[in-house]
Amino acid sequence: MYIADIIGKLNHKFSIVAFWSKTQVAFEKYYQYLKIIKGDHRWFIMFAIARFPLGRTMGKVFYRDQSLALTETSYPQDDVNHATSIFNELDVDLATQSIKKHGYYLGLQLPQNIVQEILEFAYSADIYVDGNPRLKFKYAEKEQAAQEYNLNILIGNYLDVNSKCAALQKLGSDSKLNAIAAKYLENKPVLVRSQLAWNFIGNKEDYAQKGEIGSPSILFHYDLDDYRALKFFFYLTDVDTLSGSHRCVAGSHNQRKLMYCLLRSQSDQEIVDYYGSDNIIDICGSAGFGFAEDPFCFHRGSPPVTSPRLMIQLEFALNNYGMWNLS
């Protein structure tokens, strides 16, 4: 029997190829974690303890970026300069109270001119498969790129969005978004992530490996990006339950089992059993709709079935561990 036959038979039985590709993905992700630790060892302490209620409280002690925090005299920012916000109707206190109580706030709306500006950028700029600088394509050429790279392209990121897209830069410095973040974090917020990305049509199996180690983005999970963090999401395409809606579990930022502190990912069934299906919020909205979410809430994405989703994620935290490129 030839070696190829043996490998073929073993592969049939144990799916060696699938195992190998999962191992490669895991190695790449662990390598990313090592790079973050090498850049800022405080991340490791945070990652180990912020999952526990006591650890999050102790975060104030471990949080040493005093130059950013305590020297700020205008914290919390009550004197929001409305002229520097694009969100005319947004009530900062109402939004902050909602996030404190439910873990999210659903009332954000981008002005139409900003939606247009970002869409024009998105349809003309280079997109990178999973953010890989070696694998780029334009939106209209996605199918050719999939063939050329021999890949099922699921996630397409834009790189250097802040320097290339003025509208995104404007969002990151928006006075009302910053004020909500300051009030919620009870400290001066630092922008740590500014991301514009496509989720293309794909199935659950294909999406199962996307996301962080041990917490795929389509499984309910919470993020451990800092002791306290706040995210703003904006849809740039119309999103319904079949086109990549984001799901969030109301109140889960304040209530969890000890087991959840250890295991950041949980199945839909486990989440329904513990929190109840009424608390799972399926967030849908037209292009321009936005929401804020404490990423410590259980949340998950859903693979788009009918049309791709384009979404912005802005994240504010206490510390910038350098996990995302902000250029």
Ligand X SMILES: O=C(O)CCC(=O)C(=O)O
Which of 174, 223, 226, 294 is in the footprint of ligand X by CB under 6 A? 223
Site for ligand X in 99-158 (CB under 6 A): none
193 lies in the site for ligand X, by CB under 6 A: no
Nearest-approach distance from CB 106 to ligand X, in angstroms? 14
Site for ligand X in 294-313 (CB under 6 A): 299-301, 313
Cβ-based nearer residue to ligand X, 190 or 248: 248
Whole-angstrom CA distances from 193 to 196, 230, 231 are 10, 11, 9
The residue sitting closest to ligand X, measured at its beta carbon, is 301
Nearest-approach distance from CB 325 to ligand X, in angstroms? 16
Cβ-based nearer residue to ligand X, 256 or 300: 300
Are the C-beta atoms of 103 and 199 separated by less than 8 Å? no
Within a 10 A sphere around the Cβ of 189, how many other Cβ atoms?
27
Give the residue from 207, 319, 215, 201 showing the smallest Cα distance to 267.
215
Give the residue from 188, 190, 199, 121 showing the smallest Cα distance to 160.
121
SS3 35: helix
Nearest-approach distance from CB 154 to ligand X, in angstroms? 11
Cβ-based nearer residue to ligand X, 189 or 244: 244
Which of 246, 253, 256, 264 is in the footprint of ligand X by CB under 6 A? 246
Are the C-beta atoms of 154 and 53 separated by less than 8 Å? no
Which of 85, 217, 252, 279 is in the footprint of ligand X by CB under 6 A? 217
Q: If 0-12 CB within 10 Å is exposed, 13-18 middle and 19+ buried, where does residue 117 land?
A: middle
Q: Which residues bind ligand X (CB under 6 A)?
A: 217, 223, 246, 299-301, 313
